[in-house]
Structure 1
């Protein structure tokens, strides 16, 4: 259990990046992971709309995968980044693989 708690403490922070988008330039994403097991996810569809979307909820980590309650996909926890997984929970591979990384900015 200690390892799980340590990993949870390491994931706390702010992650930011541009994720691939099918019908826009990119999904500008900022994800804030808080120590109290809450998260705030803010994103905008670049080149499509100036509207910012915000989702909030709780999070948990199991087997190095971060689950944001209320969000369909999970993230793999890296050293200084999160990697968005596909809807089946698998890492995305191929040319776009690194575009699904959200680096830790704070």
Structure 2
């Protein structure tokens, strides 16, 4: 997360929950009572299961798409992880993405 490409103010604005407590659907995962989004990124918060895995903090933010790609950043770990694929998002992601995230985090401990 260092060096930065955007100001910390812009990052915080894009990654802080803009409507805390607003329920909604996280594609592929279903309904959450608090489906927080910032002005740009989905915010993990208390969502479980979550596509960034169980070892990322509640302050994790990111985005994933139908093309099977993702990017998440966890300020508490000072870590961002991105994955580019050519496999459309489907059930593989619910298994493989958290496993990949876990392996990366564990390798850095």
TM-score by length of structure 2 reads 0.33
Greater share of helix: 2
Bigger proportion of residues as strand: 1
Say which structure, 1 or 2, has more relative contact order (CA 8 Å, 6+ apart): 1
